[in-house]
């Protein structure tokens, strides 16, 4: 699977130490904080939280600032990124290596599930959605952050898209060995769902969409769903 190869190769370190380090203070951390606060507004005192596709623990770190007493489990397909998460969080979180189609978690056991830049990378999106539903308790929260395909562009969207692409093209020039991985990023966005299509899929699979926020003219969005009680 291309995603497994990309994030277990040299790109994992480059992404976290260069791309994420440069982009997070500018805009991505704002999206992550919004995701965490949106989920906690719906479930303020979660006991068990899973960050699926956790990477190096960027979302989990914000979560633990808000609810340090919760049990946090980081899951990711990348052993390299999980190692970084362990170095960052130590004993404050558990770390599990897993594919995002097969969650190594008991059914109806999770209060909040975070998925950042995760669903888009699944080769079987419907299976990932069903696994999220299976693991969440009734009334549990699924908080998703991703780059969605933009169907209608306006000036704001086009301008931010140009900035984003320029930034990534610069990284291709600086790190030539990671060109394939960066090209995959653009390809995955173009092949992914729009926000509205994803909302429809969530509803069909048993979620009520509680909140949607768009960033950079809709290039990135957070979608927060609640597992229906039935």
Provide the domain limits for residue 127. 2-227
Mean pLDDT over 17-32 rounds to 93
Angle at Cα 110 formed by Cα 146 and Cα 188, nearest 5°?
Answer: 20
Q: 76 in helix, strand or coil?
A: strand
Interval 27-51: pLDDT, tens:
999 999 999 999 999 999 999 999 9
pLDDT exceeds 90 at position 205? yes
Local confidence band at 155 (pLDDT 50, 70, 90 cut-offs): confident
pLDDT at 54: 96
Note whether 175 and 168 are within 8 A (CB). Answer: no
Query: Tokens standing for 80?
Result: 């390299």
Length of the chain: 230
**CA–CA dist 36, 195 (Å, integer):** 19
* Kind and range of the H or E run holding 51: strand 48-52
**CA–CA dist 165, 69 (Å, integer):** 39
pLDDT exceeds 70 at position 195? yes
Q: Which residue has the tokens 């990135």?
A: 220
pLDDT at 76: 95
pTM for the complete prediction?
A: 0.95
User: What is the widest separation between alpha-carbon atoms in the chain?
Assistant: 51
**CA–CA dist 95, 99 (Å, integer):** 13
Local confidence band at 153 (pLDDT 50, 70, 90 cut-offs): confident
Local confidence band at 3 (pLDDT 50, 70, 90 cut-offs): confident
CATH number at residue 113: 3.40.50.150
Interval 126-143: pLDDT, tens:
999 999 999 999 999 999
Bigger pLDDT: 110 vs 152: 110
Bridge partners, residue 96, by sequence: 75
Mean pLDDT over 66-76 rounds to 97
Angle at Cα 223 formed by Cα 93 and Cα 45, nearest 5°?
Answer: 45
Considering its fold, how many domains does the chain have in total?
1
């Amino acid at each position: 699977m291309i995603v497994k190869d990309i994030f277990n190769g040299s790109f994992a370190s480059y992404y976290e130490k260069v791309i994420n380090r440069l982009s997070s203070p500018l805009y991505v951390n704002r999206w992550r904080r919004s995701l965490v606060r949106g989920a906690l507004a719906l479930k303020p005192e979660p006991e068990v939280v899973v960050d699926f596709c956790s990477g190096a623990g960027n979302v989990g770190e914000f979560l633990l600032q808000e609810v340090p007493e919760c049990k946090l489990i980081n899951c990711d397909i990348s052993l390299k990124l999980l190692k970084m998460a362990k170095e960052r969080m130590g004993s404050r979180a558990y770390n599990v290596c897993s594919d995002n189609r097969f969650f190594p978690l008991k059914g109806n056991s999770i209060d909040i599930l975070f998925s950042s830049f995760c669903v888009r990378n699944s080769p079987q999106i419907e299976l990932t959605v069903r696994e999220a539903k299976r693991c969440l308790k009734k009334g549990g929260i699924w908080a998703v952050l991703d780059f969605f395909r933009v169907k209608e562009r306006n000036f704001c969207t086009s301008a931010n898209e140009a900035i984003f692409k320029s930034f990534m093209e610069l990284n291709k020039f600086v790190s030539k060995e990671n060109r394939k991985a960066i090209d995959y990023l653009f390809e995955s966005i173009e092949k992914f769902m729009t926000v509205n299509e994803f909302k429809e899929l969530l509803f069909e699979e048993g979620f009520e969409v509680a909140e949607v926020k768009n960033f950079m003219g809709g290039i990135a969005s957070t979608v927060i769903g609640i597992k229906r009680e039935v």
